[in-house]
Amino acid sequence: MSALGDLGWEAYPAEGWEEISVMDERNTPMRSYQVCNVMEANQNNWLRTRHIPRDGAQRIYIEIKFTLRDCNSLPGVPGTCKETFNMYYFEANNGNLWFIKESQYIKIDTIAADESFTQTDVGDRVMKLNTEVRDINNLSKKGFYLAFQDVGACIALVSLRVFYKKCPFAVLNLAQFPDTVTGGDSALVEVRGSCVNDSEEFEAPRMYCSGDGGWLVPIGRCVCKPGFEENKDVCQQELNPHSPQSQRSANKRSGSSEESVSFSKCPLC
């Protein structure tokens, strides 16, 4: 038997994970999922999220915040108490699956706490919050489900954040590069730029979007059309055909330049 909480997550069996409201250290209420069945062996409690769309991203990051009880601080607890839990995912095009077999999930990692709390911390209202980030790669379906498996720990899952990285909109060498979602693994994504208004290609502008969300290796450029001069990232109508800006634009169109500029890497956004 399973239970569906207010967040729309599914917990099974029903006597496992429980959705409750707790107060943080600033006395702010927050929703969390908890389980603490440490007195009985062979625990297998599952908590599954709703379907999460991937929005075209191939690589997804998962940030979880949680607390975990120190087994040695629980009086009278046998060796059944654990201090880890497991995180899984399942890719699916169907956003309304009611049941997923445990064998269908792909394991992301076993999660352990850097800091566990004791009875003293409970009395002092000290929340020892742990934060862990994992990622999953090369996704191809419309979305995925995340699942958390408890095997006998005393855990509170306080926060879950799912996100992906992208290279932001950029203008370089009079070429515009759109927001671009990073690729899977560490692959670079080649992006073709488009010339800004009143400019034209001198050499096809390209850049590469890296896995960490930064633009790399700019190649090519656009130049202002005749009658226009470059001003920062735009081309504006010439006010004085003999101005230094107009002369530089003419030099770029002809392929000559007084400047020699090389690019290796754009700063991270």
Check pLDDT > 90 for residue 116.
Answer: no
Contact 150, 43 (CB under 8 A): yes
| Mean of pLDDT over the chain | 86
Contact 136, 88 (CB under 8 A): no
Tell me if 56 is assigned to some domain.
yes
Tell me if 4 is assigned to some domain.
no
44-97 tens-digit pLDDT: 999 999 999 999 999 999 999 999 999 988 888 878 899 999 999 999 999 999
What phi and psi, each to the nearest 5 degrees, are found at residue 37? -90, 70
Length of the chain, please?
A: 269
Last residue of a domain, one of 147, 163, 179: 163
Which pLDDT band, with edges at 50, 70 and 90, does 9 fall under? Answer: very high
pLDDT for 30 equals 79
Angstrom distance (rounded) from CA 54 to CA 75: 44
Check pLDDT > 70 for residue 133.
Answer: yes
- What's 225's domain CATH number? 2.60.40.1770
Angstrom distance (rounded) from CA 23 to CA 6: 17
pLDDT for 261 equals 31
Based on the domain organization, do 157 and 87 belong to the same domain? yes
Based on the domain organization, do 55 and 123 belong to the same domain? yes
Based on the domain organization, do 147 and 181 belong to the same domain? no
Check pLDDT > 90 for residue 179.
Answer: yes
Angstrom distance (rounded) from CA 158 to CA 143: 23
Based on the domain organization, do 159 and 173 belong to the same domain? no
Check pLDDT > 70 for residue 123.
Answer: no
pLDDT for 155 equals 95
Tell me if 250 is assigned to some domain.
no
pLDDT for 19 equals 92
Give the dihedral sign, CA 38/116/121/14.
negative
Give the dihedral sign, CA 23/24/29/34.
negative
Based on the domain organization, do 154 and 79 belong to the same domain? yes
Tell me if 87 is assigned to some domain.
yes
What phi and psi, each to the nearest 5 degrees, are found at residue 74? -100, 110
Check pLDDT > 50 for residue 260.
Answer: no
Q: Which residue matches tokens 């926060």?
A: 159
DSSP 8-state code for residue 249: H
Please name every residue paired with 66 in a beta bridge, in sequence order, or none if there are none: 130, 157
Which uninterrupted H or E stretch holds 86? strand 84-92
Cα 165 to its chain centre, rounded Å, is: 5
**Structure token pair of residue 160:** 């879950």
Tell me if 116 is assigned to some domain.
yes
What phi and psi, each to the nearest 5 degrees, are found at residue 29? -70, 145
Which pLDDT band, with edges at 50, 70 and 90, does 213 fall under? Answer: very high
Share of the chain above pLDDT 90, in %: 66
Looking at beta carbons, which pairs linking 94-98 to residues 24 or more positions away fall under 8 Å? 94/51, 95/50, 95/51, 95/53, 95/142, 95/143, 96/51, 97/51, 97/145, 98/10
What average pLDDT score do residues 96-111 get? 95
- What's 19's domain CATH number? 2.60.120.260
Contact 268, 212 (CB under 8 A): yes
Give the dihedral sign, CA 71/115/44/21.
positive
**pTM (whole model) above 0.75:** yes
Based on the domain organization, do 68 and 95 belong to the same domain? yes
Angstrom distance (rounded) from CA 88 to CA 141: 16
Domain that holds residue 204: 166-238
Based on the domain organization, do 159 and 39 belong to the same domain? yes
Which pLDDT band, with edges at 50, 70 and 90, does 21 fall under? Answer: confident
pLDDT for 50 equals 95
What average pLDDT score do residues 120-147 get? 84
Q: Which residue matches tokens 């096809």?
A: 204
222-255 tens-digit pLDDT: 999 999 999 989 999 987 666 665 566 556 655 5
